[in-house]
Amino acid sequence: MPKRKLAIVATHPIQYYAPVFRALAASPVIDLRVFYTWSQAASGTFDPGFGTDVRWDIPLLDGYPYQFVRNVAKSPGTHHFSGLNTPTLVREIEAWHPDAVLIYTWNSRAHLQALRHFKGRVSVLFRGDSTLIDERGWWRGLLRRTFLTWVYSHVDVAIAVGTHNRNYFAWCGLPTERIATAPHSIDTVRFASDGAMHERRATLWRQELGIDPEAVVVLFAGKLQHKKNPLLLLDAFLGLHDESHLVFVGNGELERELGLRGQGLRNVHVMPFQNQSLMPAVYRLGDIFVLPSRGPEETWGLAVNEAMASGRPVIASSKVGGACDLIQAGKNGWIFESGDREGLERLLRQAAAGGREFLRAMGATAQARSVYWSSEESARLIGEAVLACLPAARI
């Protein structure tokens, strides 16, 4: 079978997507080219969640063909609809003569225009991770559903990342046969490999923080913002009154408040943002990872994937979109009702009482389970979805 040409439209290089693109580029049936619409992001981006400019220290452009399309927006970025304005995008894609176009997210001028243009010309696939988790008033929900039904009428196949996302596409009017599934993934190999080296780095961090080698460490790593609700984790942890430790790793709007509330507490620590190359060691700093998000728009929570691939069990709130797919209660972690401080405290107490060996056994289960959300698995299923939606005469 000759390779089928797939054009992917994405905003900018992202650490979660680049490994999938590399895996797709290695496929024997897919000829890939990625078109990036935020040309200014080629030199790094400002991340409002971290409150700083971010340039990842791992390669995000190696191993697959790509091109940046000139973005002429006056205020470039993904934070508003007009932030991606690429007048030549359609022309550049058409010059490559793809069999199918896969568009990541629609909520920018450039991407919505591409959806509308290519519908009926080539097979149009869509990838996003929106959910129905966050409650809205009935009238807002009705307006949203009406608009989204129109948006997705330009899509031949939507590729869902998980259960909540699949339910969202169905709510938007897409029939079952027009919804495929490919898991929301990370580079599981990068997080699982060189475990001994990462464990040594984590042990050094524990020593520098003054943490007893036998103490259970609860970890939060990510943006210190209200959406992630790290303050709830701090409140729940302070109810334990035991020898365990809590470590926050990251930057953001709540950094100062967390530092002040933890000041003088020997078992609460705040570490600064760590770049991607160190994240496999960061997750091993903890014995259990907690993502207590309250939202809105915690559509998946890929930090949970990363912690699992690093061999750590997880606790996540019900507002974390991927929790229902990733977590098997009592086997590789637990889920608590978002905002329930007492519920989170009970789970933290259960985890701490089990001890490090108990948590390591759960972590081994988590790591084994994480392979189902690998970049390679995601690429394989995206490739299958592409081939399935092509007209038979063109295969």
pLDDT at position 394:
47
Percent of the chain clearing pLDDT 70 (strictly above): 96
Separation in Å, CA 333 to CA 217, 315, 361, 367: 15, 5, 11, 12
In degrees, rounded to 5, the angle at the alpha carbon of residue 190 between the alpha carbons of residues 186 and 219 is 75
Domain identity same for 358 and 385:
no
pLDDT surpasses 70 at 97: yes
Domain of 293 in residue numbering reads as 188-372
* Residue 69: band (very low, low, confident or very high) from pLDDT cuts 50, 70, 90: very high
Domain identity same for 139 and 235:
no
Domain identity same for 368 and 253:
yes
pLDDT in tens, 126-146: 999 999 999 777 788 889 999
What is the average per-residue pLDDT within 35-49? 79
Domain identity same for 36 and 71:
yes
How far apart CA 33 and CA 101 sit, in angstroms, is 10
pLDDT surpasses 70 at 48: no
pLDDT surpasses 60 at 50: no
pLDDT surpasses 70 at 52: no
pLDDT surpasses 60 at 393: no
CATH number at residue 28: 3.40.50.2000
The answer to whether residues 303 and 140 touch, using CB atoms and an 8 Å cutoff, is no
How far apart CA 177 and CA 164 sit, in angstroms, is 17
What is the average per-residue pLDDT within 344-372? 97
pLDDT surpasses 80 at 75: yes
Domain count, the chain: 2
The answer to whether residues 322 and 332 touch, using CB atoms and an 8 Å cutoff, is no
Domain identity same for 362 and 383:
no
pTM: 0.94
Domain identity same for 332 and 213:
yes
Domain identity same for 308 and 358:
yes
Percent of the chain clearing pLDDT 90 (strictly above): 91
Residues 6+ apart with CB under 8 A from 126: 102, 103, 104, 106, 115, 152, 155, 157, 158, 159
Domain identity same for 8 and 150:
yes
pLDDT at position 135:
79
Domain identity same for 81 and 169:
yes
Domain identity same for 148 and 222:
no
pLDDT at position 253:
95
How far apart CA 162 and CA 73 sit, in angstroms, is 33
pLDDT at position 395:
43
Domain identity same for 86 and 212:
no
pLDDT in tens, 235-281: 999 999 999 999 999 999 999 999 899 888 999 999 999 999 999 99
pLDDT in tens, 302-315: 999 999 999 999 99
pLDDT at position 141:
86
pLDDT in tens, 150-204: 999 999 999 999 999 999 999 999 999 999 999 999 999 999 999 999 999 999 9
Domain identity same for 244 and 279:
yes
